[in-house]
């Protein structure tokens, strides 16, 4: 594993950079590389206009933010001549590791994207989906570039920044990377969206499906109360957890401060009738994937069967932030929403 910018590849997690960032502008690329990259994007973007494919990629980005990684490191080259020590090339891959029961989710992602390879780790009892550099360039990278989509978790953004730097500067050998310089560039150009701006992103709903698939938990505590919780580590990701909290709780939580469980972990948990109703409605209309979908379905069935939220529950009007929409009714049998733009 290779240490880069304060974390270890490939198992770290990445951030956003400002739109005014010019150091890595495409104009600095060698002309031939720039032309080939432009042709590659145009060639593949036509395949990404399908609504379902677009949604899947945005969900995929959310999963990567929570449970994925960029594997970027040296690929050692060998030469039979002992006096010739060739430079290492650069290994670039995207990966997601999931427990063995979630193999079907990885197969779904691979099939729908038309890319990737799935392998099995016997020691960890996990399946892994790997997208190689060509896969990323064919599908993921052009979609992000053409739709102005960014990773939201700090470490994943940092990893993606390294990927873009290598790509846009046409660097082929690991020894030619100045990691300290890249780290400084990242820190200078990285922007952190306010939590209230994150939930306004046009792809936020799909991103949240993926992030919840990776980091969310639907559970019943020993007191038989239903809870939904979501967690993320790192002070740099406070704004991300705050955004999810604000999205679910609404404007009344604007000034609520989330305290870390320890020096690294932020967790938010929801159990009130109003919050559970909002969560139930959201994931009814924004379907989860894999085992998390099964967990949600069982969780929902428990709530309904135990009348924790039922048809006799009073209607409660409370503005909920949902991409500028308002959820007005807490009745689980009534999915009507009043939508205020």
CATH code for the domain of 185? 3.10.28.10
Domain contains 90: yes
Judge if 11 and 157 occupy the same domain. Answer: yes
Judge if 116 and 264 occupy the same domain. Answer: no
First-to-last alpha carbon distance for the chain, in angstroms, is 48
* Domain C-terminal end among 177, 192, 207: 192
Judge if 208 and 280 occupy the same domain. Answer: yes
pLDDT of residue 82: 73
Judge if 27 and 86 occupy the same domain. Answer: yes
Least confident of 11-25, 29-43, 214-228: 11-25
Judge if 209 and 292 occupy the same domain. Answer: yes
Domain contains 102: yes
Please give the model's pTM, rounded to 2 decimal places.
0.75
Judge if 129 and 62 occupy the same domain. Answer: yes
Judge if 202 and 160 occupy the same domain. Answer: no
* Integer-rounded Cα radius of gyration of the chain: 22
Domain contains 119: yes
What integer is the mean pLDDT of 160-182?
Answer: 95
Least confident of 91-105, 126-140, 193-207, 321-335: 321-335
Judge if 125 and 152 occupy the same domain. Answer: yes
Three-state DSSP string of 180-246? HHHHHHHHHHEECCCHHHHCCCCCHHHHHHHHHHHHEEEEECCCCCEEEEEEEECHHHHHHHHHHHH
Judge if 149 and 102 occupy the same domain. Answer: yes
Domain contains 243: yes
Judge if 12 and 143 occupy the same domain. Answer: yes
pLDDT of residue 227: 93
pLDDT of residue 51: 65
Domain contains 275: yes
pLDDT of residue 309: 53
Domain contains 335: no
171: containing domain: 2-192
Grade residue 306 by pLDDT with cuts at 50, 70 and 90.
confident
Give CA 28 to chain center in angstroms. Answer: 29
What's the pLDDT tens digit per position in 258-297?
A: 988 887 899 999 999 999 999 999 999 999 999 999 999 9
Coil, helix or strand at residue 16: strand
Domain contains 315: no
Q: Yes or no: say if 266 and 260 are a contact pair by the CB < 8 Å rule.
A: yes
Domain count along the chain:
2
Q: Is 253 exposed, middle or buried (0-12, 13-18, 19+ CB in 10 A)?
A: middle
Domain contains 341: no
CB-CB neighbours of 220 under 10 Å:
15
Least confident of 137-141, 246-250, 324-328: 324-328
Judge if 110 and 218 occupy the same domain. Answer: no
What integer is the mean pLDDT of 99-128?
Answer: 93
Coil, helix or strand at residue 109: helix
Judge if 263 and 288 occupy the same domain. Answer: yes
């Amino acid at each position: 594993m290779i240490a880069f910018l304060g974390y270890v590849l490939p198992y770290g997690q990445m951030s956003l950079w400002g739109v005014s960032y010019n150091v890595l502008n495409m104009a600095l690329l060698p002309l031939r590389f720039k032309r080939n990259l432009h042709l590659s994007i145009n060639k593949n973007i036509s395949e990404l206009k399908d609504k379902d494919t677009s949604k899947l990629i945005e969900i995929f980005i959310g999963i990567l933010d929570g449970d994925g990684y960029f594997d970027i490191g040296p690929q050692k080259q060998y030469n039979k001549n002992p006096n010739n020590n060739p430079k290492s090339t650069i290994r670039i891959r995207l990966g997601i590791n999931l427990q063995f029961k979630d193999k079907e989710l990885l197969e779904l992602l691979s099939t729908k994207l038309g890319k990737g390879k799935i392998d099995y780790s016997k020691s960890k009892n996990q399946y892994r989906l790997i997208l190689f550099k060509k896969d990323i360039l064919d599908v993921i990278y052009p979609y992000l570039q053409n739709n102005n989509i960014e990773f939201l978790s700090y470490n994943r953004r940092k990893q993606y920044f390294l990927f873009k730097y290598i790509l846009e500067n046409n660097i082929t050998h690991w020894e030619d990377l100045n990691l300290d310089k890249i780290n400084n560039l990242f820190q200078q150009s990285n922007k952190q969206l306010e939590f209230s701006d994150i939930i306004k992103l046009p792809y936020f709903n799909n991103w949240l499906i993926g992030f919840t698939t990776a980091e969310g938990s639907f559970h019943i505590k020993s007191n038989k109360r239903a809870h939904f919780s979501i967690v993320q580590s790192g002070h740099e990701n406070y704004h991300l957890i705050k955004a999810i909290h604000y999205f679910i709780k609404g404007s009344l939580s604007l000034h609520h401060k989330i305290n870390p469980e320890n020096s690294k972990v932020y967790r938010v948990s929801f159990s009130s009738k109003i919050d559970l109703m909002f969560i139930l409605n959201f994931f009814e209309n924004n379907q989860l994937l894999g085992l998390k979908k099964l967990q949600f379905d069982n969780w929902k069935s428990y709530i309904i069967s135990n009348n924790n939220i039922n048809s006799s529950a009073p209607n409660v009007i409370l503005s909920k932030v949902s991409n500028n929409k308002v959820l007005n009714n807490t009745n689980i049998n009534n999915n009507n929403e009043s939508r205020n733009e």
